[in-house]
Amino acid sequence: LQGIFVLGLPYALLHSGYSGLFLIILAAALCCYTGKILVACLYEENEDGQLVRVRDTYEDIANACCKNLSPKLGGIVVNVTQVMELIMTCILYLIVSGNLLSHSFPYVPVTEKTWSVIAFVTLLPCVFIKTLKFVSKLSQLCSLVHFIIILVVMTYCLTQIHQWSWAKFRFSIEFEDFLVSVGVIIFSYTSQIFLPTLEGNMKNPREFRCMLNWTHFFACVLKTTFSLTAFLTWGEETKEVITDNLPSFLQTLVNLCLLTKALLSYPLPFFAATEIVYACFSRGDCSHYGSPLFALGVRCSFLLLTLLMAMFIPHFALLMGLTGSVTGAAMTFLLPSLFHLKLKWKKLSFLEKCADISVFILGFLCSLAGVVCSIKGLLEVFG
């Protein structure tokens, strides 16, 4: 919940004004809610009225909802959507790494693409990752680096408190700029892809809902505090990535921390994507699909794919926005609410049905608006 997107929140406030603060809180509540209803779809009541976990993954939920149409249709749609989003995330980390290295060492005569290749070399050991436990240790280090970055930025902002003015906030906003802010804020909370696996690996799954409440609450508090202090410091001069506003002596330090964070963040989406593909193949009749050598081949292929796409796809930011508007909104809002309605319709109260329908409509509108803006941007770029 505390990814690189957090660094774009002050810029989102620049374009959304006071409504941006409300959006940060609303997005936390909605994403927490869809996380809960998604995990609720993993369970069914047995004859004694006790909840039993009858499904393990997002794919299982989708297959259960689409079994009347096709036993595997829902799972295929979900898996393709998940893999697209995860691979795009990995590619983004590679591109960000190249960009950060080039800005940290501007006097070295090396292009951003070459720096991306250098960053890629450090990620080669990812092909040997076999368990989520190892990934979680890397994610823990990633969180530590992230808090160092946040601490540095906020400490500098607090030294500039004499320049703060609420007059920097505005009430009138441009609609298209506002949509960009909505996308940044909502997608900074997305974690639904990982929740079924996370809940299944908890020592005490009964604490899942409580954990989700507290993590989203603290994420909301941190995002609001960070984005507010940063925006009040720089106002109209706030840049897309807030670290670019820092003075040069801090910027290099923070950029290296961001590079470390990007490299440590890469293994989680990479591991999740390769596990999904490997699981799909290993269910087949061919025994070699289940071999360790085949698993290694899948990981190597995905690693090379992320490098090639990072090197050769032009206007990646716009393509990422287009993909994110489709896959992000689908995995976060559309599918959880749709699956919950389908599987739990008879047991839901009227208010719960209204809540699910409202989330679905909101997710559809966000997705549609994001797609329109991204396509418009691509058309402008390509003339």
150-187 residue pLDDT tens:
889 999 999 999 888 887 777 666 776 777 777 778 77
What mean pLDDT comes out for the span 194-212? 90
Give 13-34 pLDDT, tens digit per residue: 888 888 888 889 998 999 999 9
Res 139: pLDDT: 84
- Give domain 5-382's CATH superfamily: Amino acid/polyamine transporter I (1.20.1740.10)
183/206 Cα distance (integer angstroms): 32
Better pLDDT: 366 or 262: 262
Res 248: pLDDT: 83
| Residue 155 neighbours by CB under 8 Å, 6+ apart | none
Whether the full predicted model's pTM is greater than 0.85, yes or no, is no
Better pLDDT: 72 or 219: 219
What mean pLDDT comes out for the span 108-126? 89
Better pLDDT: 255 or 184: 255
Q: Are 199 and 208 a contacting pair, CB within 8 Å?
A: yes
Assign residue 217 a region (left: φ > 0; alpha: ψ between -120 and 50; beta: otherwise).
Answer: alpha
219/239 Cα distance (integer angstroms): 22
Q: Which of 304, 310, 325, 307 is nearest to 372 (CA)?
A: 325
Res 290: pLDDT: 56
Quick check: 97 pLDDT over 70? yes
Res 193: pLDDT: 81
Res 359: pLDDT: 94
272/265 Cα distance (integer angstroms): 12
Question: pLDDT grade, residue 360 (50/70/90)?
Answer: very high
Give 261-320 pLDDT, tens digit per residue: 889 989 988 988 888 888 777 765 444 555 778 788 888 999 999 999 888 775 655 666
Res 159: pLDDT: 92
Quick check: 357 pLDDT over 50? yes
What mean pLDDT comes out for the span 130-144? 84
Res 287: pLDDT: 47
Evaluated on CA atoms 176, 177, 183, 189, the torsion sign reads: negative
Better pLDDT: 61 or 381: 61
Torsion of the alpha carbons at 302, 304, 307 and 312, rounded to the nearest 10 = -100
359/307 Cα distance (integer angstroms): 36
